[in-house]
Structure 1
Amino acid sequence: MESRNVPKSSVTVRELIRTNYTSLTPSERKFAQALLDNYPSAGLTSITAAARNANVSVPTVARMINKLGFTGYPPFHHALLQELEAKALGPTERRAKWASEAPETHQLNRFTETVMRNLEQTFANIDSAQFDAAVKAMAETSSHLYVVGGRITQSLATYAFTHFQAVREHTTHMTSVSATWPHYVLDMQKGDVLLVFDIRRYDAGLMRLAEQATREGVQVVLITDQWTSPVADWADYTFNCWVEIPSAWDSNVATMLLLEAMIAAIQEENWPRARARYDRLEDLFDRMNLFRRS
């Protein structure tokens, strides 16, 4: 059985809860919160055990699941299992999955359609208040901004640093070598911000880094995929980007668009201070004869 009116891979149970949260009763919200606090494990037991662990009744669980669009507990349980499986998919498995489901159209069209859906789904689930709060934290020049990524997302971290460093002072690009991270944590102070990029398969080192940074009073901003990196357990702000495409790899298009929106917002938050840095940087480029203007 499958959930009704729920796309197979574009919407997670976590997002369904967030979307429908305001329609839930207090007891249903209690179960929803218990599930989110221990996601997705809390929903991978029987309905009786899930209700007992959340201190709610079985009918309460059944009603909440129905409000999310599922016909019963089995399809809800199956959806969580599929999410768990999707988190662990490697390139070969992803390619096989898409090959079995791919329509017989040109690859360019398939890519374009999928990426557009990813963008739509990503920005439909961005909370503007959370975005503004994260931007304000990252724009605060009295604190230090650290940027780090994993094996694949390190390129995003490099791109982010290149722009943030031009917009604001006190910005550090952490290396991808986890053995060096304690050296950065050593200098972190309360009020600093750590921007983390982490998509499946998730980097266990980034989770440990976020944990230690949090213990130092650092605010953590996480940009992850729709399944959510474990770093979210330590993050103050989490942004989910939809990444699946007809390929053995995941897409960073939605992630990059979100990042560029953050860069633009932080630039505006710090203007005209940022403008003065741009002007000085351009002067340095000219004096060092690094780029041709024509």
Structure 2
Amino acid sequence: MAAGEAPVPVAEAIRRGMAECSPAERKVARVLLSSYPSAGFETVAKLAARAGVSGPTVLRFANRLGYRGFPDFQQALRDDLDERSASPIDLYDRHRADSGTEPVSGLGRAAAITGDTLERTFDALVPGEFDRAVDLLCTRRTRIFVAGGRFSGLLARLLAQHLQLIRPGVTALPEHDAGRIEAVSGLRRGDVVVLFDYRRYEEPTQRLAALARERRASVILFTDAWLSPIASEADVVLPSETGSPSAAFDAMTPVLAIVEAVIAECAERLGTEASARMREVEQTGRELGLY
């Protein structure tokens, strides 16, 4: 295992393994992802019934993912739940307990961990999901609303500000409730809501996702490899790895890398429309004496 690399979360293992599954096993995978992680704690018989397959199919699915049996699969889910709810102090204490006499981390170690985390993030991304995100963000006359959490809100604003430069109709939702209510009160079908949600997943962001689904708007989710609860209802899921040089905090560099990739592809896709929009914004800035 590479420096800073953690075991592959169950949800990510399911997503990666679906391509190699039989049609019946893919039914099991879809049920698990649509009600993750609660569906995984049901009995084999009940999970099989929900998926419309046999009990042995569920067991074969667990084995295909590399688990020794269904109890082993469920134990991995329990471990995932611990990881999903880990706080910075939990991560820090765990690092101190595991490090022993390990030398003090330096620049070289940080570079190795960051490089490995970026590589694993892009390796795990599903090209179709990335393309679908760009399609939604480049659809003409679509209104786009972008929001994040306590820390991921910084990346949400970065995405929104860049999109605002290359297309109209983009709103960075305010952090306070009153401002959000006013901004999304007219949310409707055809709109796109882009959400950033990372462990420990935030209830206000989940409420925005629920409202978007109720209003039949599309949802693009940036999340971690453990997958926010929003993932089961999102139209597009773009997960990133969390391996970080920090003992206490998850990496945000992979999220930034995905955001920059999305911005670059959107600018390329919009082409002359993007350049015309940037000229318009630039001219308005000069008229206001800002540039």
Give the structure-2-normalised TM-score.
Answer: 0.89
Q: Which residue of 2 aligns with 1:60?
A: 57
- In structure 1, give the amino acid aligned to 2:263: I
Is the 8 Å Cα contact of residues 141 and 170 (structure 1) preserved in structure 2? no
Q: Which residue of 2 aligns with 1:110?
A: 109
Name the CA distance, whole Å, in 2 between partners of 1:126 and 1:222.
13
Is the 8 Å Cα contact of residues 199 and 225 (structure 1) preserved in structure 2? yes
Q: Give 1:224 shift.
A: 0.6
2:66 is aligned with 1:69:
yes
Q: Give 1:227 shift.
A: 0.8
Query: Sequence identity, in percent?
Result: 32
Is the 8 Å Cα contact of residues 41 and 74 (structure 2) preserved in structure 1? yes
Q: Give 1:262 shift.
A: 0.6
Task: Structure 2: state its 5+ residue gaps.
Answer: none
**Are the structure 2 counterparts of residues 75 and 108 from structure 1 closer, same or farther at C-alpha, using a change threshold of 3 Å?**
farther
Deviations 1:226-252 (A, max 9, x none): 111112233111110112324211111
Q: Which residue of 2 aligns with 1:203?
A: 202
Query: Which segment is superposed worse, 21-30 or 201-210?
Result: 21-30
Is the 8 Å Cα contact of residues 163 and 170 (structure 2) preserved in structure 1? yes
Task: Let me know the Cα RMSD of the aligned residues.
Answer: 2.3
Q: Give 1:282 shift.
A: 3.1
**Are the structure 2 counterparts of residues 234 and 179 from structure 1 closer, same or farther at C-alpha, using a change threshold of 3 Å?**
farther
Q: Give 1:85 shift.
A: 0.7
Give the structure-1-normalised TM-score.
Answer: 0.88
Is the 8 Å Cα contact of residues 10 and 121 (structure 1) preserved in structure 2? no
Name the CA distance, whole Å, in 1 between partners of 2:290 and 2:7.
44
2:93 is aligned with 1:96:
yes
What does 1:143-182 align with in structure 2 at a 5 Å threshold?
143-182=142-181
Q: Which residue of 2 aligns with 1:85?
A: 82
Is the 8 Å Cα contact of residues 149 and 197 (structure 2) preserved in structure 1? yes
Is the 8 Å Cα contact of residues 48 and 58 (structure 1) preserved in structure 2? yes
Deviations 1:99-130 (A, max 9, x none): 23344363333322222222122111212122
Deviations 1:198-254 (A, max 9, x none): 111111111111111222221111101111111223311111011232421111100
Name the CA distance, whole Å, in 2 between partners of 1:213 and 1:259.
21
Q: Which has the higher contact order (CA 8 A, sep 6+)?
A: 2
- In structure 2, give the amino acid aligned to 1:26: P
- In structure 1, give the amino acid aligned to 2:242: V
Name the CA distance, whole Å, in 2 between partners of 1:283 and 1:180.
29
Query: Which segment is superposed worse, 143-152 or 132-141?
Result: 132-141
Q: Give 1:169 shift.
A: 0.9
Q: Which residue of 1 aligns with 2:272?
A: 272
- In structure 2, give the amino acid aligned to 1:275: S
Is the 8 Å Cα contact of residues 145 and 194 (structure 2) preserved in structure 1? yes
Q: Which residue of 2 aligns with 1:236?
A: 235
Q: Give 1:65 shift.
A: 1.4
Q: Which residue of 2 aligns with 1:188?
A: 187
Q: Give 1:41 shift.
A: 1.7
Q: Give 1:34 shift.
A: 2.3
Is the 8 Å Cα contact of residues 5 and 117 (structure 2) preserved in structure 1? no
SS in 2 for 1:187: coil
Q: Which residue of 2 aligns with 1:40?
A: 37
Q: How many residues are matched?
A: 286
Task: Structure 1: state its 5+ residue gaps.
Answer: 1-6
Query: Which segment is superposed worse, 218-227 or 281-290?
Result: 281-290
Is the 8 Å Cα contact of residues 214 and 234 (structure 1) preserved in structure 2? yes
